[in-house]
Amino acid sequence: MSGGGLFLRAAAAARACRALAAFTTSQRSLRTSPRSRGFAKELFLGTIEKEEVFPFPEVDQEELNEINQFMGPVEKFFTEEVDSRKIDQEGEIPKETLEKLKSLGLFGMQVPEEYGGLGLSNTMYARLGEITALDASITVTLAAHQSIGLKGIIIAGSEEQKTKYLPRLASGEHIAAFCLTEPASGSDAASIRTRATLSEDKKHYILNGSKIWITNGGLADIFTVFAKTQIVDSNNLIKDKITAFIVERNFGGVTNGKPEDKLGIRGSNTCEVHFENTKVPVENVLGEVGGGFKVAMNILNSGRFSMGSSVAGMLKKLIEMTAEYACTRKQFNKNLSEFGLIQEKFALMAQKAYVMESMAYLTAGLLDRPGLPDCSVEAAIVKVFSSEAAWQCVSEALQILGGLGYMRDYPYERLLRDARILLIFEGTNEILRMYIALTGLQHAGHILTSRINEIKRGNVSTIVETVGRRLRDSLSRTVDLGLTGKLGVVHPSLEDSANKLEENVYYFGRTVETLLLRFGKTIVEEQMVMKRVANILINLYSMTAVLSRASRSIRIGLRNHDHEVLLANIFCVEAYHQNLFTLSQLDKYSPENLDEKIKKVAQQVLEKRTYICAHPLDRTS
């Protein structure tokens, strides 16, 4: 094992000792802490649970020292030994590179120490993710192994399953894959056709079916597989339900196709995986029979936040490389860096990196708290924002570089190709926007149900209260949600931005109530409405994250905190105005809302399945 790997394991052992010393306290905390309702969900009610996100999460000095020491050997390896161009061109990660990743402990980053892993906190995992992101193919390989491939065993596995499988998965002796997607089911996971039938002796399930686009599919020894099984419900009716299974390649009947020829992340192994009469012992059911859909969603929800730190790591390196070019390339007797439109691009890249980094580490800090934090909406927000910002920023970097950025001799076009998948996998951004909006609206609906019903029934006092509140709102009432002032949590240099956030949050809450009253349960069919709701929430959480982080940086005197204030204020002003416009579009009679016209155009195009306008050179005679 390498020196870096030894250090990582020694540090893990030290953490285990500290954890043992605090075992009794932490267990008591875990048992008694109420399940958090989730910061982002509360924004749908027009409230800011400031104690959840202020001050910005910190790690203690001992853990910080560990993180910094972890970084050394990992960064050295990625900088000196990983040949990303070769990986991209040859379409695979060399065996010696995979072996070094294993020796560094990177296949067991989040596997608990008692099962041979490093047991990293979410914060430490995010920090290491910044370095592993220097090669997208390696990032995806590691993430498919532990963020989804083996994660089900950690969160839903029995003690016997954990003891049997996790040690060899943590060491990298075995590699894991997550098998959900099928030819007929992409985002609609519930429509899978792979089937597992209980054998007559009830000792095995016989698994048959095919999965597509499985990362690590050709490398994996252990698969988390989702299949339809028959169950008898409480009414004694036989129904098909999804069940999760731990499947070993050596069970037999497991084959894979050739690696897919992909646009980007070309070094990661992606292929079809087939199961033909594969005998899976009943003890390899993961979670409950029929509970597989919940297992799948919990796995996917738990890992999305780390995309923020990974993309931020990539963007920071991209800014470094692009800035060097812009400051030395001359055009019209001036450096590119002196032109305003080029400067604008660098400000955009710095701002996006700062926002996603702030959200990723805020979410990691929330997840690391004791109890049962519900951060699924926050994690989805981080994924959507980070993936779209990555695509935008890499595109802007190519624009700065001009023709040079388009050439394969340089890494920029590879970064562009690699970035495109981010908007698709781990839940498409369209699906995640629906998830963000629907989850929050359901939360608000549950709490506001009685009030909404009273309005619908014509309860006079409730109606008068509602009308009075809307009248005060129309007179531009001052919103104070406690972020500023004597007891405020935001630094005074960010006060104007905090006030903008408070105003946005308050009117978002009022708008949510109006939407629930207007649409009721049918709002699930209003995808353009839900997209706007999600976009507002993404901005609100982003604004919160940068204000919390920048306030902490000022108060403890971090270097360049004035730069953070600039970035935070710029972002908050832009997000505030975006939110105002989007809120106006959610009004029933808004002239800014073009939904019906957009739908009409789409219907006419799709009906003919072509562009239907006459050619501009056509004549009528």
Residues forming the active site: 426
49: left (phi over 0), alpha (psi -120 to 50) or beta: beta
Place of tokens 């089937």: 195
Q: Which of 137, 41, 126, 44 is nearest to 88 (CA)?
A: 137
Q: Show the tokens assigned to 609.
A: 């399945």
Four-residue CA torsion sign, 511, 512, 513, 517:
positive
Let me know: does 278 contact 207? Beta carbons within 8 Å: yes
CA dist 91 → 88, 94, 563 (Å): 5, 10, 40
Let me know: does 64 contact 15? Beta carbons within 8 Å: no
Q: Show the tokens assigned to 463.
A: 């109606």
The DSSP-derived string for 166-211 is HHHHHHTSS-EEEE--BTTBSS-GGG---EEEE-TTSSEEEEEEEE
Q: Show the tokens assigned to 524.
A: 């699930």
Q: What residues contact 27, with CB distance under 8 A and at least 6 apart?
A: none
Question: Which contiguous run of DSSP H or E holds residue 244?
Answer: strand 238-248
Q: Show the tokens assigned to 94.
A: 């060399």
Q: How many Å apart are CA 519 and CA 507, to the nearest integer?
A: 18
Q: Show the tokens assigned to 563.
A: 């730069």
Let me know: does 105 contact 2? Beta carbons within 8 Å: no
Q: How many Å apart are CA 194 and CA 229, to the nearest integer?
A: 9
Instruction: Provide the β-strand partners of residue 223.
Output: 177, 247
Q: How many Å apart are CA 164 and CA 360, to the nearest integer?
A: 32
